[in-house]
Amino acid sequence: MKNAVLKKVTIIFVIVFSCILNLPLVFATTIFDNTKSIDEPVTSVSVSGNNANTNLEIFSSALYDSMQLSVKGLSQNAFNYAIKGFYKLLNEGRLKNDDIITIVDFSLPSTQKRLFVINLNKKEVLFNTYVAHGINSGKLKANKFSNSPESYKSSLGFYQTLETYMGGHGYSLRLQGLEKGINDNAKRRGIVIHGADYVDENFIRMQGYIGRSWGCPALPVKLYKPIINTIKNGTCLFIYSPDKFYLKKSGVINA
């Protein structure tokens, strides 16, 4: 009788111990079944369903870490919002390119390289350089924004890049603002990407910040052409700031 009882206790102990050992594997399988593997090409990410936001945040954080974007200075909030908006706009058919995203992080001062051109499928930072903000948006940092003509301020939010043209600043790239009331006057205001000699480290040494534009995200002369050629014709541009008005009003990041 005692042997039978001891045998039953031993069997129960083995079963319970085996279950405990397998818990981490079960948990890991559950997490990664709900998330796209970071080692796979990023062709699409579903943003529908009850767990969409959670899954996208997990994916975004994993991608941010794997690309070591914090080392380059890009804030994680800027990247997370960019990824969320990118896939929303892509799923709505408002972008033509599912590889490239450009992020301008205005939480950083103009003395830092705050423009990032990223290939999401290859998980590569293609360009990381300086970018100007509007003359009425601030000196060292951009902290005032506007969608109004003649404001000479930068506009935040999501844009689609359009075609190139030759204008007053030479080779330039037109932008279409995708957020009503936030940046949808971009074309009317003539907000474009172009090169400018005042976006240069010499200006930082002379005055403590780079030169400023009339609202355009102007780029260094040495890099603006290859950057424009990389991001033209339907890619996503996201200009970020921890601006309370934008974070509350944006229909893209609050969807």
Q: Could you read off the pLDDT of 94-141 as tens digits, one per residue?
A: 999 999 999 999 999 999 999 999 999 999 999 999 999 999 999 999
pLDDT recorded at residue 49 = 53
State the pLDDT at residue 20: 36
The C-alpha atoms of residue 47 and residue 246 are separated, in whole angstroms, by 21
Phi-psi group of 2: left, alpha or beta (phi > 0 → left; psi -120 to 50 → alpha; rest → beta):
alpha
Task: Return the pLDDT at 14.
Answer: 38
Region 172-180 average pLDDT: 98
Please give the sequence-ordered ranges of beta strands (E in DSSP) within 54-114, or none if there are none.
100-105
Give me the chain's average pLDDT, please.
86
Side-chain-side CA neighbours of residue 199 (13 Å) = 28
Is the pLDDT at 7 greater than 80, yes or no? no
CB 221 within 8 A of CB 195: yes
Which of the four pLDDT bands, split at 50, 70 and 90, describes residue 54?
Answer: confident
For the domain 95-249, what is the CATH superfamily, name and number?
Answer: L,D-transpeptidase catalytic domain-like (2.40.440.10)
Token duo for residue 237: 């541009």
The rounded distance, in Å, linking the Cα atoms of 163 and 61 is: 32
* pLDDT higher than threshold 90 for residue 60: yes
Residue 243, pLDDT above cutoff 90? yes
Could you tell me which residues come within 8 angstroms of residue 135 by beta carbon, excluding any fewer than 6 positions away? 152, 212, 213, 214
Q: How far is CA 65 from CA 52, 60, 69, 209, in A?
A: 20, 9, 7, 29
The whole-angstrom separation of Cα 45 and Cα 98 is 11
- Model pLDDT, residue 45: 53
Confidence of residue 48 (pLDDT cuts 50, 70, 90): low
